[in-house]
Structure formats: structure tokens, C-alpha cells
Structure 1
């Protein structure tokens, strides 16, 4: 998955799940790690980072 695809997937996941999207991506990354799929886990970690960037800084 290249950077553009990662960003597109992150936007779609964030649009579908809102503030829960980052947790969803983290869960999928963890599931891939447990299933011995390190490449997929890295892709989900990249999606999670892109979602975090979309959300912006935490606001009080």
C-alpha cells in the first residue's frame, strides 16, 4: 500500500467510524501481528498514523 492509498483508506475509515477509527486500525494491526502477518500489521499502523494526522491535535 503506497502513501496515497494509505491516506485514502484512512479517510474512508475515519469517515465510517469517526473517532473510533484509530482504535479500529490499532485493533487490526494487533490482529495481524498475532496472526504473524508483519507486512499487513505495518500497513495498519500506517493507516492509524494517517488517521491520527486527520484528527489533528487533541483539544480540551
Structure 2
């Protein structure tokens, strides 16, 4: 997943879940890690990080 898609997913999750979006991305990453899908898990961890950065920008 390219950077623009990560950002797009992060914004969409943040709009849908607000401050719970980061936890939602973490849950999805964990689900893929548990299933042995490292690539998908890595992408969700990137989305999680983007949401964390988004939240920081909104809290400033």
C-alpha cells in the first residue's frame, strides 16, 4: 500500500471512529498478525501510525 492509500485509510478510519480509530487499526493489524499475514499487518500498522500522527495534529 502506498503512502497516499495509508493516509486515505487513516483519514477514513478517523472520520468513522474518532479517537478510537487507532485502536481499530491496531486490532486489524493484530488479526492479520495472528493469521500469519505479515504484509497486511504491516500495512495496518502503518495506518495506525498515520492515525496517531493525525490525532496529534488535531489535538494541537
TM-score, normalized by length of structure 1? Answer: 0.93
Matched pairs, number: 58
Distance in 2 between residues matched to 1:12 and 1:24, nearest whole Å: 12
Runs of 4+ in 1 over 3 A off after TM superposition: none
TM-score, normalized by length of structure 2? Answer: 0.93
Distance in 1 between residues matched to 2:37 and 2:16, nearest whole Å: 25
- RMSD over equivalenced CA pairs, Å: 1.2
More helix by share: 2
Q: Structure 2 regions of 5+ residues with no counterpart? A: none
